[in-house]
Amino acid sequence: IPGYPRSKGIAQSAVKIVNMLLKRAYESNGEPLMAFLNYCNMPLQHMNASPAQLLMGRRTRTLVPTTAKQLQPRI
C-alpha cells in the first residue's frame, strides 16, 4: 500500500517465511506443499489460532496428530 511503509515489512516477513519453508522442505527431501499445510495449521505467536483456523473457523486435518474434538468448529 503506497504511503504505508509498515506493509512492506509485513510482506518481506511473509516472503522470508515462505523461503525458509521451501529451503527446509528441499533439504529434508520433503514435499513443499506439506510444509505449507503444516505451517497454516500451526498457531501464530501473537494469537491462539492458526491461519487456517482464522480463515475457516476450525482446524483442518493434517498428519500432525489431533483429536476429533479439536476438529469441531467453535461457535
Between the CA of residue 69 and those of 57, 61, 65, 66, 73, what are the distances in Å? 14, 12, 12, 8, 9
The per-residue pLDDT for 2 is 67
Where the chain has pLDDT below 50, the residues are none
The per-residue pLDDT for 58 is 79
CB 24 within 8 A of CB 16: no
The per-residue pLDDT for 75 is 63
Cα radius of gyration rounded to whole Å, the chain: 15
| Alpha-carbon gap, residue 45 to 60, rounded angstroms | 19
Indicate the length of the chain as a whole number.
75
| Alpha-carbon gap, residue 50 to 62, rounded angstroms | 13
Give the start-to-end residue ranges of the domains of the chain: 6-71
